[in-house]
Amino acid sequence: MRPYLLLTPGPLTTTDSVKQVMMSDWCTWDEDYNVHIVEEVRHGLVDFATRNTEEYTAVLLQGSGSYCVESVIGTAVNPTDKLLILSNGAYGDRMGLISDYYKLSYCKLSFPETVTVSAEMVEHYLSEHPEITHVAVVHCETTTGVLNPLKEIAGVVKKYDKKLIVDAMSSFGGIPLDVAELDIDFMISSANKCIQGVPGFGFVIARRKELMQCKGNARSLSLDLYAQWEKMEKGHGKWRFTSPTHVVRAFKQAMQELADEGGVVARFKRYSENHRILVEGMRSLGFETLLPDAIQSPVITSFLYPKKEFDFKRFYMQLKENGFVIYPGKISQADTFRIGNIGDVFPDDFHRLIDTIRKIEY
């Protein structure tokens, strides 16, 4: 079932058992599906997201992760509000693009891709701009793999009493966090990242009280997060429009496997170990990471081209022939490629990867 391992930021390598449960068909209005799959997934997600499960609720939405980011921005931020977007990469910038489409009043505080969002500068900005109502930030910027200091940023955002939107797409399930402790109002992630499901839907963990105030706000029908939630909540797991039934079933299996592994902390340890072996091995072969270790996430790592004439395509093809698919770089200031540590991949896989890179010519 596996022509090669995906060492990518998602879709990623999934287990055979996750793929196998997609071999049956489900009826969207039958309780076998909506009560026993969708509702269990929703409750399980809130359990993974916080110990304070009363205050939060989960909404699932068809599409990729960006659909969920758009649904949150388009439903939670009103034309009379003002959004502050913190960006140090492509996914932060995408929130700006979404805001452009919605003609929202927003402001973007940009940082270079190789540094973290500075909580100090956010504080300085908020102290001078009381008109800001919402702040949006990416937790792990998958563009480079940089991990933003979410706790510090959230602390500042809440000190100034703003609503907090977090794109935790590539970190939720793989890096421990508690939405209630961080006082997050909307947290977004998707099926095909650290929970290790297959692509087809995303989800939002929302503070119930905040979401309830969003009725009628949305300017898109299919991306109306409130309407989607209301139908799911009142309809006990019903979706407004056709849901990706096989994908949701696979996700339920993936959540079970996350719990069986020992939960988010255990998964974080595995990803961190994958990352350690990768980086130590690559450095021993003369490669350098784009980021300093202190701000690097265990999710995905950017490496600089080892020399100017480095032929990425050739490197890529040789790794693929040996069973590993890696990822091109996504930044403008340096020539990089990326290797993901997430998915059903283990320390031994990274030892094998390093052995392979040692042997090939590039």
Ligand X SMILES: *Cc1c(COP(=O)(O)O)cnc(C)c1O
Residues 158-177 that bind ligand X (CB under 6 A): 167, 169-170
Closer to ligand X by CB, 137 or 357: give it: 137
Give the CB-nearest residue to ligand X. Answer: 65
* 87 to 116: interface string for ligand X, x by CB under 6 A: ----x-------------------------
* DSSP secondary structure, 5-59, as one string: EE-SSSS----HHHHHGGGS---TTSHHHIIIIIIHHHHHHHHHH-S-TTSEEEE
Closer to ligand X by CB, 57 or 171: give it: 171
> Six-digit token pair at 219?
């300017």
Separation of first and last alpha carbons in the chain: 29
DSSP-assigned beta bridge partners for residue 189: 203
> Six-digit token pair at 281?
């091995």
Closer to ligand X by CB, 50 or 142: give it: 142
Closer to ligand X by CB, 220 or 318: give it: 220
Q: Is there binding between residue 196 and ligand X (CB under 6 A)?
A: no
**Whole-number Å distance between alpha carbons of 362 and 94:** 34
Q: For the CB of residue 212, give the shortest distance to ligand X in the complex, in Å.
A: 25
Q: For the CB of residue 234, give the shortest distance to ligand X in the complex, in Å.
A: 28
CB 270 within 8 A of CB 333: no
Closer to ligand X by CB, 91 or 337: give it: 91
Helical ranges in 111-214 per DSSP H: 119-128, 150-159, 208-212
Q: For the CB of residue 216, give the shortest distance to ligand X in the complex, in Å.
A: 26
CB 281 within 8 A of CB 353: yes
Closer to ligand X by CB, 139 or 162: give it: 139
Q: Is there binding between residue 62 and ligand X (CB under 6 A)?
A: no
* 111 to 150: interface string for ligand X, x by CB under 6 A: ---------------------------x---x--------
Q: CA quadruple 141, 296, 345, 39: dihedral positive or negative?
A: negative
Q: If residue 239 lies in a helix (H) or strand (E), which one and from where to where?
A: none
Three-state DSSP state, 144 = coil
Which segment (61-69, 243-251, 328-336, 344-352) binds ligand X by CB under 6 A? 61-69
Which segment (31-39, 60-68, 213-221, 276-284) binds ligand X by CB under 6 A? 60-68
Which segment (18-26, 38-46, 64-72, 110-118) binds ligand X by CB under 6 A? 64-72
Residue type, 290: L
Closer to ligand X by CB, 10 or 244: give it: 10
Q: For the CB of residue 333, give the shortest distance to ligand X in the complex, in Å.
A: 19
Give the start-end residues of each E strand in the chain: 5-6, 56-62, 83-87, 106-110, 134-138, 140-141, 146-147, 163-167, 186-190, 201-207, 300-304, 324-325, 327-328, 336-340
Q: Is there binding between residue 64 and ligand X (CB under 6 A)?
A: yes
Residue from the set 7, 18, 50, 65 that interacts with ligand X by CB under 6 A: 65
Residue from the set 6, 8, 9, 278 that interacts with ligand X by CB under 6 A: 9
Which residue in the block uniquely carries the two structure tokens 């719990």? 259
Q: Which residues bind ligand X (CB under 6 A)?
A: 9-10, 64-66, 91, 138, 142, 167, 169-170, 190
